[in-house]
């Protein structure tokens, strides 16, 4: 080593000593996407600009060039752990710490474990985030290091999933405990159907591998809602909380998450209530318990043949099956042998993986987790990251049967859309929650009876199913609740969405259905543009092709529709008006105002700036 390089390293060492006083960490909460309860915190480095670096990666690259990565990592990990332990009840949470990709070393996990222990923490309190640019083909010690992390009890996260190296190969070779979806996939996911499809499939794949998904960088309510709908487990972003250096600014639960879900509630068929009905509260043991505790658990609970095992944060790590230790229990000296400290068998030696699902997830998610596992005994249930109970395979079958019966009772048998019970519940919510703006759309077909009589009910059913499919693809992905009242009557509703956006979706639906339904007519009738048939009075006449008419009711804060009869008359009046509209849409913006009839060329711009709520866009 040259004198020049020695001098350079000496100067760098002084800079790193100064870094201890300049660098610090901010903590950003990672919360349960259903309830807002904190699951953990990501440590985000602050103060590197004071050392003359423009980015964190520049600091790490500089240390690597001078072969000081281990020294810098020791400083950074200790600073992050110290900041984390200042947070109340740190033992119950996880610290997400970003790995320096220059430090691919098998012994790194052991060093992190020592630093955790110095602050009273265990391996399961730390989750190492693997950066997106780390390529396993380049770093030969990658797999060995991950195995050491797992041996130390550390958890693994793939950061910025969807924007890195060999993502699927890493999922296969070294499955992580968590993946963080890249911000690119989350941004505007509520309006970008391609992103929604990508994320939904990524979440499904992760869950099949028993990997939990963190939606990173959530900044709007719509992004949060869509991420929850596609199955993400946790959320992180400015919408929930900014990174905080002062631990006093951190909360154990971020209630705005629950409030957002409440005002955008979608009926989930009562899944949580059903799951709680079949939940078996088996008393668990912990990884740190002695083997004698396991024997006592089996002796105490004679109805079950499994024992759930938790880590120090009360997160389930798996099950111990009674069959696995029968040889020790029933052999002559087996019990004495297994409890002998010299034999060195621990609780973790007998744990078998088991799928784990949050109690707020749907029953479909439960079934997916169970089906994806290899010969599972059941499913472990958590609530806000802590063990809640167990559902055995037998109970899961009964649960699914009961769910299917409940769904069948409350959905339209033809379209499988939610039926009148759920529609009435949604409308009741809109009428009672006065702090939000709601849009309720009542839709039915024009000229359907003549079509149904002329072509027969089978073709009529195809028209109804065609419209239901358009509702699923054109409204539901954008946050709408959709339902089927019966026959050719449908309902859709949405909360806290601007009127121009609502009108744009409904116009798309109207025009798309008007075009697509023509495929159900015979070529001659379609070319002629009308159907020669008898009307309801038995008279022959030319009947126009089917289209959809929509009565759209806007309910704003302060509007009063508590009287069901008044609401019914308003909707009936709107429906009649919609059939007179060239576009097939009639809008009522206040309880006593006039109806707005829309033409084929109505302007979104006029609605954005639309001065008076009584102004008629069609000029009528």
Q: Is the pLDDT of residue 303 over 80?
A: yes
Q: What is the mean pLDDT of residues 554-563?
A: 80
| 24, two tokens | 């610090």
Q: How confident is the model at residue 269 (pLDDT cuts 50, 70, 90)?
A: very low
Three-state secondary-structure class, residue 204 = helix
Predicted confidence at residue 331, as pLDDT, reads 64
Give per-residue pLDDT as tens, 3-62: 444 466 677 777 777 888 889 999 999 999 999 999 999 999 999 998 889 999 899 888
Distance CA 605, CA 585 (A): 17
Closest CA to 128 of 95, 174, 168: 95
Distance CA 232, CA 91 (A): 24
From the CB of residue 99, how many other CB atoms can be counted at a distance below 10 Å?
21
Predicted confidence at residue 518, as pLDDT, reads 94
Q: How confident is the model at residue 135 (pLDDT cuts 50, 70, 90)?
A: low
Mean pLDDT of the chain, nearest integer:
85
* 411, 473 Cβ separation under 8 angstroms: no
Name which of 113-127, 394-408, 541-555 the model is least confident about: 394-408
Q: How confident is the model at residue 292 (pLDDT cuts 50, 70, 90)?
A: confident
| 5, two tokens | 């390089």
Predicted confidence at residue 613, as pLDDT, reads 34
Q: Is the pLDDT of residue 190 over 60?
A: yes
Closest CA to 104 of 133, 78, 81: 133
- Of 328 and 575, the structure prediction assigns the larger pLDDT to 575
Distance CA 79, CA 19 (A): 10
Distance CA 109, CA 118 (A): 14
Predicted confidence at residue 612, as pLDDT, reads 35
Q: How confident is the model at residue 235 (pLDDT cuts 50, 70, 90)?
A: very high
From the CB of residue 36, how many other CB atoms can be counted at a distance below 10 Å?
23
Q: What DSSP element (H or E) covers 524?
A: helix 523-528
User: C-alpha distances in angstroms, 617 versus 136, 439, 489, 586, 614?
Assistant: 60, 18, 26, 10, 9
Predicted confidence at residue 336, as pLDDT, reads 67
Distance CA 25, CA 320 (A): 39
Closest CA to 91 of 45, 129, 31, 38: 38
* 403, 269 Cβ separation under 8 angstroms: yes
* 127, 154 Cβ separation under 8 angstroms: yes
Residue 59's Cβ-count burial label (10 Å; 0-12, 13-18, 19+) is: buried
Q: Which residues are bridge partners to 46 per DSSP? A: 24
Closest CA to 170 of 162, 591, 482: 162
* DSSP code at position 45: E
Three-state secondary structure readout of 12-28: HHHHHHHHHHHCEEEEE
- Angle at CA 199, nearest 5°, toward 196 and 205? 140
Q: Is the pLDDT of residue 348 over 90?
A: no
Q: Is the pLDDT of residue 319 over 90?
A: yes
Q: Is the pLDDT of residue 539 over 70?
A: yes
Name which of 158-172, 300-314, 599-613 the model is least confident about: 599-613
Q: How confident is the model at residue 604 (pLDDT cuts 50, 70, 90)?
A: very low
Closest CA to 517 of 599, 441, 460, 453: 460
Q: What is the mean pLDDT of residues 362-382?
A: 88
User: C-alpha distances in angstroms, 137 versus 143, 326, 497?
Assistant: 10, 43, 47
Closest CA to 142 of 130, 127, 153, 154: 130
Predicted confidence at residue 194, as pLDDT, reads 86
Q: Is the pLDDT of residue 555 over 80?
A: yes
* 613, 589 Cβ separation under 8 angstroms: yes
Distance CA 157, CA 495 (A): 35
Superfamily classification of domain 274-404: CBS-domain (3.10.580.10)
Distance CA 613, CA 594 (A): 9
For 401, list phi and psi in degrees, rounded to 5. -60, -45
Q: What is the mean pLDDT of residues 243-272?
A: 81
* 615, 599 Cβ separation under 8 angstroms: no
Q: Is the pLDDT of residue 310 over 80?
A: yes
Report the top-level CATH class of 3-265: alpha beta
Give per-residue pLDDT as tens, 430-486: 887 777 889 999 999 999 988 998 899 999 999 999 999 999 999 998 889 999 999
Q: Is the pLDDT of residue 344 over 50?
A: yes
**Domain coordinates in residue numbering, the chain:** 3-265, 274-404, 413-608
For the chain, what percent of residues have pLDDT higher than 70? 87
For the chain, what percent of residues have pLDDT higher than 90? 43
Predicted confidence at residue 605, as pLDDT, reads 41
Q: How confident is the model at residue 594 (pLDDT cuts 50, 70, 90)?
A: confident
CATH entry 3.30.70.270 includes domain 413-608: yes
Q: What is the mean pLDDT of residues 506-523?
A: 94
Top-confidence range, 40-49, 60-69, 188-197, 328-337: 40-49
Distance CA 315, CA 266 (A): 28
Residue 332's Cβ-count burial label (10 Å; 0-12, 13-18, 19+) is: exposed
Closest CA to 559 of 415, 457, 436: 436
Name which of 232-241, 265-274, 529-538, 588-597 the model is least confident about: 265-274
* 587, 507 Cβ separation under 8 angstroms: no
């Amino acid at each position: 080593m040259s004198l020049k390089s020695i001098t350079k390293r000496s100067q760098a060492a002084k800079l790193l000593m100064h870094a201890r006083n300049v660098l610090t960490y901010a903590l950003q909460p990672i919360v349960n996407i259903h309830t807002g309860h904190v699951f953990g915190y990501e440590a985000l480095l602050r103060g590197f600009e004071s050392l003359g670096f423009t980015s964190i990666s520049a600091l790490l690259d500089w240390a690597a060039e001078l072969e000081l990565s281990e020294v810098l990592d020791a400083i950074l990990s200790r600073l992050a752990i110290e900041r984390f332990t200042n947070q109340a009840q740190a033992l119950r949470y996880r610290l997400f710490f970003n790995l320096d990709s220059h430090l691919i070393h098998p012994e790194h996990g052991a060093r992190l474990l020592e630093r955790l222990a110095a602050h009273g923490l265990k391996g399961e309190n730390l989750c190492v985030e693997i950066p997106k640019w780390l390529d396993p083909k380049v770093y030969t010690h990658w797999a060995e290091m991950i195995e050491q992390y797992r041996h130390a009890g550390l958890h693994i996260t793939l950061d910025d999933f969807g924007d890195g190296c060999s993502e699927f190969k890493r999922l296969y070779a070294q499955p992580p405990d968590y993946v963080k979806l890249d911000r690119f996939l989350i941004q505007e996911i509520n309006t970008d159907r391609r992103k929604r499809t990508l994320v939904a499939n990524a979440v499904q794949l992760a869950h099949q591998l028993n990997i939990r998904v963190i939606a990173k960088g959530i900044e709007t309510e719509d992004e949060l809602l869509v991420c929850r709908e596609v199955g993400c487990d946790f959320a992180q972003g400015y919408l929930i909380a900014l990174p905080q250096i002062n631990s006093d600014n951190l909360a154990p639960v971020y209630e705005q998450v629950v409030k957002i879900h409440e005002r955008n509630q979608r009926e989930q068929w009562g899944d949580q209530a059903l799951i709680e009905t079949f939940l078996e509260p088996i008393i668990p043991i912990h990884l740190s318990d002695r083997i004698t505790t396991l024997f006592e658990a089996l002796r105490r609970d004679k109805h079950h043949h499994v024992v759930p095992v938790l880590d120090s944060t009360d997160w389930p790590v798996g099950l111990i099956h009674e069959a696995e230790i029968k040889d020790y229990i029933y052999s002559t000296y087996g019990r004495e042998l297994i409890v002998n400290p010299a034999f060195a068998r621990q609780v973790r030696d007998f744990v078998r993986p088991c799928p784990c699902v949050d109690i707020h997830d749907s029953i479909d998610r439960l079934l997916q987790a169970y089906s994806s596992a290899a010969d599972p005994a059941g499913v472990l249930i958590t609530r806000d990251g802590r063990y809640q109970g167990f559902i055995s395979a037998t109970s899961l079958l009964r649960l699914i049967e009961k769910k299917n019966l409940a769904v069948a009772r409350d959905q339209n048998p033809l379209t499988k859309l939610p039926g009148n019970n759920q529609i009435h519940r949604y409308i009741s919510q809109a009428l009672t929650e006065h702090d939000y703006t709601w849009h309720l759309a009542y839709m039915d077909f024009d000229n359907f009876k003549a079509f149904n009589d002329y072509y027969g009910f089978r073709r009529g059913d195809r028209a109804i199913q065609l419209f239901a499919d358009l509702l699923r693809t054109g409204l539901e992905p954008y946050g709408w609740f959709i339902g089927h009242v019966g026959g050719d009557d449908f309902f859709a509703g949405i909360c806290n969405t601007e009127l121009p956006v609502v009108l744009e979706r409904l116009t798309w639906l109207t025009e798309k259905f008007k075009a697509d339904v023509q495929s159900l007519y015979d070529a001659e009738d379609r070319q002629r543009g009308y159907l020669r048939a008898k009307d309801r009075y038995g008279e022959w006449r030319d009947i126009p092709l089917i289209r959809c008419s929509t009565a759209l009711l806007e309910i704003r804060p302060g509007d009063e529709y508590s009287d069901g009869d008044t609401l019914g008359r308003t909707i009936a009046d709107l429906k009649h008006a919609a059939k007179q509209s060239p576009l097939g849409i009639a809008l009522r913006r206040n309880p006593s105002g006039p109806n707005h009839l829309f033409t084929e060329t109505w302007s979104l711009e006029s609605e954005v700036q639309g001065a008076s709520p009584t102004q008629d866009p069609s000029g009528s």
